[in-house]
């Protein structure tokens, strides 16, 4: 689980060009969006595309995405439960 | 001259969508509450094959007859033909002069379906079938309709995403009120496409069960396609020819959320402002509205914010309302035009459609729509359309009482509040990103050196070894002006536009003006092509896996103007002309209209287009240019067809305002006009130019220089010079004739660069044979549309 969380941190930093942000700066229990990372709702949808690309998880409904993005830890649990 | 108030009325309507072909057929579907949504068959979609969509059931190409064009163009023409026949114009214009007939359409999809076919053949089978790219542009439908109709008044296309059809009606109404035209074909058509289906899918805005407007369980839109057209006419013209008047377009209002690329402002601030402006323009109070035709897309955000805005506007007395989206899907640009046709039909029938898909009321909304078709006493209907980027338009349709005496007094609706000062609107600021440089000083230096440098442009996906010669912008300082977080989801063209805007609009100007009084009109011929192509390539190569929402959001044409509004906080009208070579002139006209009516105190007008490998490859294939093509030398290349001038790119943005407020303007602009010529006739063009100047009390003898889009092609260059000679004869003095495309290359936004060149000429920064004080910028498109303006120091 912790490995997956670290992996997700790296993907987020690289995927969203978060210059000057290190994995240590991201709190795994804080909301991914709207908690100081300067990520907006388009980024949230981009993360949906990343999940599909890298983990084969297809999300078609916003309510599912909103729940999964509550925190990095919850997202990691969501990925483990749904990955193909 | 008597100041009889001009008022737009509707004398004909036409409609095609999934709920039927023809107004009466669609109305029957509404009466029986019959939804036209069905599984997609137009193309295969691995991702959304099971989804319900609003696909037109009829064979569109066959219905359109021998008309060549994209599916969007064909849909538009089918609706236009019905509307023109209904208005009594099937056999010609009768007493109406063709020069008084205009076309104002909305479009967002254009020929995307064909471009997808091209890309699929290229990427999957390595076949280079460029044919469909000929019908790619959103302007195709307006050009087609204008040609079929023989219209010779103003012709333009606006692309404000899902409000484009309503925005076209807004602009058409202004053409009539301001006396630019007596009859205007107005409406919009959009086909289904893989881009829009997967784009909305990537934003998680598609409901697999079909849309459920205002329902507690709603989860998104159903995508649709279709077209609707209205014949708008000045009331006096319609009465004089004894036409049956179906309804009046009484009010129109526009606003911008200035909030987000794809999400609406949650409290509906922009939506409320658009509705308030539509009512204010018609001098109506909220209680005079009997019914609201909502945008009602059934996305969770839209319906909640629209309901909130309705409650703010009407308080406890929200009138009956419905959403027709489940009948035929969300038809994007066509949506506002279809709702306009249905509003006219409702006023005639004194009945309103229901809201199929709605079953469970949403406590959070606290309002329920009309469920089924029912009679209702109606005098006025408010119709809402909201687009991506917060481009909002509200329209008020009014029952027409043929017994009433025609208006004697100028009505309250949208009066012209002011004329420009003696020299025109003040040009308060200018910003540019161009191949010749990114400031007027750099550009002047480039002109002294003979033009911008020519660069190589590789087209890797198509011709691995081939290079095209181009005029390219190079680095334009995006890194310096925009922080990485801001740039992340912006296309290169959006960044160019933001950089140019920062130079045109100072923080002091913004601070001194109320946000709702700053309008933004920034056009683009082809939009952020690189991002659009990347989104579609991705769909094709990955079988629609993981479509990229950021690419889709920036592929929408109006995402340039919308990002400017977000960054600068501009809450006034926000619009995006997409009319090929006269894209910028259309922007200038719409911006000046907002100033004339007093709705804006500051108006941004601009245009932007970028180089991209697919159009370059098409040009290579079609023999338009090659590695040996020479640099552009206006009036000096004498190139023969099929050679074309070298392609270019760039963006220019200008801030306009009333002259009184200007401290030291860069210059003044006046005599802004759009039109269309059926044939090439130099004397007639010269008459059109001089007549336009004289309307604004500018003597032809004042003109020093005619600035044209001359590009080194022999025939058009000769024609431009013939027009300048004819102007000289009519003016009684020699008028110089210059070009500007050696500074920017050939592209749809080139005349915005021409406008800056004109400013440079009247300021003396750019030299001419003799001192120049007055320049006419005159632009014409091979399709016949044209535009002009006069720039003075």
Q: Give domain status of residue B412, yes or no.
A: no
Q: Which CATH class is domain A2-82?
A: mainly alpha
Above 80 in pLDDT, residue B663? no
* Residue of A18, A46, A61 lying closest to B549 (CB–CB): A46
Residues B386 and B433 in one domain: no
CA–CA separation, B554 and B161 (whole Å): 12
Nearest residue on chain B to A43, alpha-carbon basis: B550
Cβ-contact B226, B334 below 8 angstroms: yes
* Chain A residues within 8 A of B203 when measuring between CB atoms: 45
* Residue of A18, A46, A52 lying closest to B545 (CB–CB): A52
Structure tokens at B399: 């029952």
Say whether B261 and A48 touch across the interface (CB within 8 A). no
Cβ-contact B734, B724 below 8 angstroms: no
CA–CA separation, B748 and B755 (whole Å): 13
Q: Residue B410's pLDDT band (boundaries 50, 70, 90)?
A: very low
Among the options B138, B162, B256, B727, which is catalytic? B162
Q: Give domain status of residue B419, yes or no.
A: no
* Chain B residues within 8 A of A48 when measuring between CB atoms: 202, 204, 549
- Nearest 5°: the CA angle B184, B599, B268 is 95
pLDDT tens by residue, chain A, 84 residues: 899 999 999 999 988 888 888 999 999 999 888 777 778 889 999 999 999 999 999 999 888 999 999 999 999 999 999 987
Residue to mutate among B49, B259, B482, B488, with most A CBs inside 10 A, is B488
- Contact residues for B278 (Cβ-Cβ < 8 A; gap 6+): B251, B252, B253, B382, B394, B395, B396
User: In this structure, how many other beta carbons lie within 10 angstroms of the beta carbon of residue B732?
Assistant: 9
Say whether B206 and A50 touch across the interface (CB within 8 A). no
* Residue of A16, A41, A49 lying closest to B202 (CB–CB): A49
Nearest residue on chain A to B550, alpha-carbon basis: A42
Cβ-contact B344, B247 below 8 angstroms: yes
CA–CA separation, B530 and B494 (whole Å): 11
* Chain B residues within 8 A of A12 when measuring between CB atoms: none
Residue to mutate among B204, B262, B534, with most A CBs inside 10 A, is B204
* Chain A residues within 8 A of B217 when measuring between CB atoms: none
The yes-or-no answer on residue B330 being catalytic is: yes
Q: Give domain status of residue B333, yes or no.
A: yes
The H or E element containing residue B531 is: helix B529-541
The size of the A-B interface in CB pairs under 8 A is 56
- From start to end of B363-509, where are the E strands? 374-375, 380-387, 391-399, 425-433, 455-458, 467-470
- End-to-end CA separation in angstroms for chain A: 16
Residues B345 and B464 in one domain: no
Distances in whole angstroms, Cα of residue B685 to Cα of each of B461, B582, B663, B708, B775: 43, 16, 36, 13, 16
* Chain A residues within 8 A of B262 when measuring between CB atoms: 41-42
Residue to mutate among A19, A33, A42, with most B CBs inside 10 A, is A42
Q: How far is CA B664 from the centre of its chain?
A: 31
Structure tokens at B579: 């009319």
Cβ-contact B111, B135 below 8 angstroms: yes
pLDDT of residue B437: 97
Q: Give domain status of residue B4, yes or no.
A: no
Above 60 in pLDDT, residue B406? no
Q: Choose the weakest-confidence range: B271-280, B517-526, B616-625.
A: B616-625
Per-residue pLDDT tens digits for B485-538 = 788 889 999 999 999 999 999 999 999 999 999 999 999 999 999 999 999 999
Tokens 């990095």: give the residue: A72
Mean pLDDT across B683-690: 98
pLDDT of residue B413: 62
Above 90 in pLDDT, residue B644? no
CA–CA separation, B690 and B766 (whole Å): 25
Cβ-contact B754, B772 below 8 angstroms: no
- Contact residues for B401 (Cβ-Cβ < 8 A; gap 6+): none
Q: Residue B2's pLDDT band (boundaries 50, 70, 90)?
A: very low
- Mean pLDDT across chain B: 94
Beta strands across the sheet bearing B705-708: B574-575, B518-523, B602-609, B650-657, B425-433, B667-676, B785-792, B774-780, B705-708, B736-739
Instruction: Read off the CATH number of the domain in which B603 is found.
Output: 3.40.47.10
- Burial of B307-343, coded b for 16+ CB within 10 Å and e otherwise, reads bbbbbbbbeeebbebbbbbbbbbbbbbbbbbbbbbbb
Rg (C-alpha) for chain A, rounded Å, is 12
The yes-or-no answer on residue B697 being catalytic is: no
Residues B362 and B460 in one domain: no
CA distance B220 to chain A (A): 9
pLDDT of residue B449: 95
* Chain A residues within 8 A of B300 when measuring between CB atoms: 62
Structure tokens at B490: 């912006």
Cβ-contact B652, B752 below 8 angstroms: yes
Residue to mutate among A46, A64, A67, A69, with most B CBs inside 10 A, is A46
The H or E element containing residue B734 is: none
Mapped onto helix, strand or coil, the DSSP state of residue B230 is strand
Closest of A65, A69, A79, A56 to residue B545, by C-alpha = A56
Residue to mutate among B206, B485, B550, with most A CBs inside 10 A, is B485
Mapped onto helix, strand or coil, the DSSP state of residue B120 is helix
Say whether B484 and A42 touch across the interface (CB within 8 A). no
Say whether B546 and A53 touch across the interface (CB within 8 A). yes
* Chain B residues within 8 A of A16 when measuring between CB atoms: 488
Residues B563 and B667 in one domain: yes
pLDDT of residue B411: 52
Residues B440 and B477 in one domain: yes
Q: Determine what percent of chain B is predicted with pLDDT higher than 90.
A: 88
Q: Residue B112's pLDDT band (boundaries 50, 70, 90)?
A: very high
Q: Residues A43, A49, A53, A58: is their CA dihedral positive or negative? A: positive
* Chain A residues within 8 A of B261 when measuring between CB atoms: 42
Mean pLDDT across B597-622: 93
Q: Spell out which chain A residues touch chain B, with contact meaning CB-CB distance below 8 angstroms.
A: 16-19, 38, 40-43, 45-46, 48-50, 52-53, 59-63, 65
Q: How far is CA B168 from the centre of its chain?
A: 7
CA–CA separation, B523 and B516 (whole Å): 20
Per-residue pLDDT tens digits for B156-178 = 999 999 999 999 999 999 999 99
User: In this structure, how many other beta carbons lie within 10 angstroms of the beta carbon of residue B25?
Assistant: 14
Per-residue pLDDT tens digits for B432-467 = 999 999 999 999 999 999 999 999 988 876 777 778
Mean pLDDT across B755-774: 97
Tokens 């569109």: give the residue: B60
DSSP letter assigned to residue A35 = S
Say whether B549 and A62 touch across the interface (CB within 8 A). no
* Chain B residues within 8 A of A18 when measuring between CB atoms: 485
- Burial of B757-782, coded b for 16+ CB within 10 Å and e otherwise, reads bbbbbbeebbebeeebebbbbbbbbe
> What are the structural domain ranges in chain A?
2-82
Domain extent for B279: 9-399
Closest of B41, B742, B69 to residue B443, by C-alpha = B742
CA–CA separation, B112 and B71 (whole Å): 9
* Residue of A43, A45, A61 lying closest to B202 (CB–CB): A45
Tokens 């021409």: give the residue: B754
* Residue of B260, B262, B300 lying closest to A62 (CB–CB): B300
Q: How far is CA B329 from the centre of its chain?
A: 22
CA–CA separation, B613 and B718 (whole Å): 31
Pairing of β B101-106 and β B351-352:
unpaired
Nearest residue on chain A to B208, alpha-carbon basis: A60
Per-residue pLDDT tens digits for B123-154 = 999 998 999 999 999 999 999 999 999 999 99
DSSP letter assigned to residue B135 = G
* Predicted complex ipTM: 0.95
Cβ-contact A9, A76 below 8 angstroms: no
- Contact residues for B616 (Cβ-Cβ < 8 A; gap 6+): B457, B459, B468, B470, B647
Number of domains observed in the structure of chain B: 2
CA distance B226 to chain A (A): 25
Q: Give domain status of residue B413, yes or no.
A: no
Cβ-contact B270, B571 below 8 angstroms: yes
User: In this structure, how many other beta carbons lie within 10 angstroms of the beta carbon of residue B445?
Assistant: 14
Q: Choose the weakest-confidence range: A70-84, B78-92, B238-252.
A: A70-84
Q: Give domain status of residue B407, yes or no.
A: no
Q: Residue B1's pLDDT band (boundaries 50, 70, 90)?
A: very low
pLDDT of residue B293: 98
* Residue of A16, A18, A45 lying closest to B549 (CB–CB): A45
Tokens 């092509």: give the residue: B529
Mapped onto helix, strand or coil, the DSSP state of residue A52 is helix
- Where residue B344 falls (left for φ over 0; alpha for ψ -120 to 50; beta otherwise) is alpha
- Nearest 5°: the CA angle B390, B392, B393 is 170
CA distance B556 to chain A (A): 14
* Chain B residues within 8 A of A46 when measuring between CB atoms: 489, 548-550
Cβ-contact A60, B201 below 8 angstroms: yes
* Residue of A19, A61, A63 lying closest to B484 (CB–CB): A19
Closest of B779, B771, B726, B728 to residue B752, by C-alpha = B779
Q: Residue B750's pLDDT band (boundaries 50, 70, 90)?
A: very high
CA–CA separation, B538 and B133 (whole Å): 19
Mean pLDDT across B600-614: 96
Among the options B136, B330, B414, B438, which is catalytic? B330
Structure tokens at B291: 């019914």
* Residue of A17, A48, A59 lying closest to B484 (CB–CB): A17
Say whether B260 and A62 touch across the interface (CB within 8 A). no
Q: Spell out which chain B residues touch chain A, with contact meaning CB-CB distance below 8 angstroms.
A: 201-206, 208, 219-220, 260-263, 300, 484-485, 488-489, 545-550, 553
Closest of B711, B211, B761 to residue B440, by C-alpha = B761
- End-to-end CA separation in angstroms for chain B: 31
Residue B713, beta-bridge partner list: B639
Say whether A60 and B553 touch across the interface (CB within 8 A). no
Mapped onto helix, strand or coil, the DSSP state of residue B101 is strand
Above 80 in pLDDT, residue B397? yes
Among B356, B383, B399, residue at a domain's last position: B399
The yes-or-no answer on residue B295 being catalytic is: yes
Above 80 in pLDDT, residue B394? yes
Among B347, B381, B399, residue at a domain's last position: B399
Structure tokens at B213: 């407007």
Q: Is the peptide bond between B637 and the residue preceding it cis, with omega within 30 degrees of 0?
A: no
CA–CA separation, B530 and B761 (whole Å): 33
Residue B575, beta-bridge partner list: B521
At residue B611, φ and ψ (nearest 5 deg) are: -70, 145
* Residue of B219, B262, B546 lying closest to A42 (CB–CB): B262
Among B382, B399, B416, residue at a domain's last position: B399
Q: Give domain status of residue B416, yes or no.
A: no
CA distance B673 to chain A (A): 39
Mapped onto helix, strand or coil, the DSSP state of residue B363 is coil
């Amino acid at each position: 689980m912790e490995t997956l969380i670290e992996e997700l941190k790296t993907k987020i930093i690289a995927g969203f060009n978060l210059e000057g942000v290190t994995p240590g700066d991201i709190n795994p229990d804080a909301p991914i969006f709207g908690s100081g990372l300067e990520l907006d709702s388009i980024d949230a949808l981009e993360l949906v595309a990343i999940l599909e690309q890298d983990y084969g998880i297809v999300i078609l409904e916003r309510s599912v995405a909103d729940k999964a993005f509550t925190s990095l830890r919850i997202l990691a649990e969501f990925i483990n439960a749904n990955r193909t | 001259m008597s100041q009889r108030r001009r008022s737009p009325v509707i004398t004909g309507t036409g409609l095609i969508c999934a709920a039927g072909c023809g107004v009466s057929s669609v109305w029957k579907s509404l009466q029986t509450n019959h939804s036209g949504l069905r599984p997609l068959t137009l193309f295969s979609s691995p991702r959304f094959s099971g989804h319900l969509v609003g696909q037109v059931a009829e064979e569109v190409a066959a219905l359109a007859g021998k008309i060549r064009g994209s599916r969007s163009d064909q849909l538009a023409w089918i609706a236009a033909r019905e509307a023109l026949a209904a208005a009594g114009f099937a056999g010609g214009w009768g007493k109406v002069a063709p020069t008084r007939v205009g076309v104002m359409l909305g479009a967002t999809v254009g020929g995307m379906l064909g471009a997808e076919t091209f890309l699929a053949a290229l990427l999957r089978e390595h076949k280079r079938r460029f044919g469909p790219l000929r019908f790619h542009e959103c302007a195709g439908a307006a050009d087609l309709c204008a040609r079929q109709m023989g219209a010779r008044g103003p012709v333009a296309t606006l692309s404000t995403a899902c409000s484009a059809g309503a925005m076209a009606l807004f602009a058409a109404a202004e053409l009539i009120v301001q006396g630019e035209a007596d009859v205007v074909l107005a409406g919009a058509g959009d086909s289904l496409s893989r881009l829009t289906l997967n784009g909305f899918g990537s934003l998680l805005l598609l409901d697999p069960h079909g849309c459920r407007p205002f329902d507690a369980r709603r989860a998104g839109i159903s995508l649709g396609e279709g077209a609707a057209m209205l014949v708008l006419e000045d009331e006096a013209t319609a009465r004089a020819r004894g036409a049956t008047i179906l309804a009046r377009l009484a009010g129109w209002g526009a606003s911008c959320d200035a909030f987000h690329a794809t999400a609406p402002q949650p409290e509906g601030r922009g939506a409320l402002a658009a509705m308030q402006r539509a009512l204010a323009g018609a001098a109506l109070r909220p209680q005079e509205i009997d019914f609201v035709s909502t945008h009602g897309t059934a996305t969770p955000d839209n319906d909640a914010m629209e309901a909130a805005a309705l409650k703010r506007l009407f308080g406890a007395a929200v009138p009956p309302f419905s959403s027709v989206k489940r009948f035929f899907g969300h038809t994007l640009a066509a949506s506002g035009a279809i709702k306009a046709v249905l509003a006219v039909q409702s006023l005639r029938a004194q009945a309103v459609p229901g809201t199929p898909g709605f079953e469970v009321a949403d406590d959070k909304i606290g309002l329920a729509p009309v469920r089924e078709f029912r009679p209702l006493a109606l005098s006025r209907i408010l119709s809402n359309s909201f687009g991506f980027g917060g481009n909002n338009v509200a329209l008020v349709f009014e029952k027409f009482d043929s017994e009433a005496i025609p208006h004697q007094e100028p009505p309250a609706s949208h009066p012209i509040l002011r004329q420009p000062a003696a020299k025109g609107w003040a040009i308060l600021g200018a910003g540019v990103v161009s191949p010749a440089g990114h400031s007027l000083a750099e550009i002047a230096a480039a002109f002294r050196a003979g033009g911008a440098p020519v660069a190589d442009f590789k087209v890797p996906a198509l011709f691995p070894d081939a290079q095209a010669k181009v005029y390219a912008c190079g680095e334009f300082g995006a890194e310096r002006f925009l922080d990485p977080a801001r740039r992340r989801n912006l296309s290169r063209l959006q960044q160019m536009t933001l950089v140019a805007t920062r130079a045109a609009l100072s923080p002091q100007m913004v601070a001194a003006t109320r946000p709702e009084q700053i309008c933004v009109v920034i056009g683009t011929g082809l939009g952020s092509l690189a991002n659009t192509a990347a989104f579609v390539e991705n769909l094709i190569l990955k079988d629609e896996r993981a479509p990229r929402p950021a690419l889709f959001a920036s592929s929408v044409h109006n995402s340039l103007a919308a990002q400017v509004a977000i960054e600068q906080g501009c809450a006034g009208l926000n619009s995006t002309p997409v009319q090929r070579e006269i894209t910028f002139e259309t922007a200038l006209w719409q911006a000046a209209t907002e100033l004339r009516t007093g709705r804006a105190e500051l108006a941004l007008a601009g245009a932007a287009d970028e180089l991209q490998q697919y159009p370059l490859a098409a040009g290579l294939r079609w023999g338009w240019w090659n590695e040996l093509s020479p640099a552009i030398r206006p009036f000096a290349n004498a190139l023969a067809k099929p050679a074309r001038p070298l392609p270019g790119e760039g963006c220019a943005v200008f801030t306009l305002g009333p002259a009184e407020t200007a401290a030291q303007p860069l210059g003044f602009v006046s005599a802004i006009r759009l039109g269309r010529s059926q044939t090439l006739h130099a004397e007639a063009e010269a008459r059109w130019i001089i007549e336009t100047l004289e309307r604004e009390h500018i003597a032809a003898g004042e003109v020093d220089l005619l600035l044209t889009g001359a590009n080194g092609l022999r025939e058009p260059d000769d024609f431009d010079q013939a027009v300048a000679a004819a102007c000289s004869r009519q003016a009684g003095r020699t008028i110089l004739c210059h070009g500007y495309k050696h500074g920017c290359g050939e592209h749809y936004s080139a005349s915005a660069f021409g406008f800056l060149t004109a400013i440079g000429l009247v300021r003396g920064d750019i030299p001419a044979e003799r001192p120049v004080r007055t320049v006419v910028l005159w632009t014409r498109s091979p399709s016949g549309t044209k535009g002009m303006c006069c720039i003075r120091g």
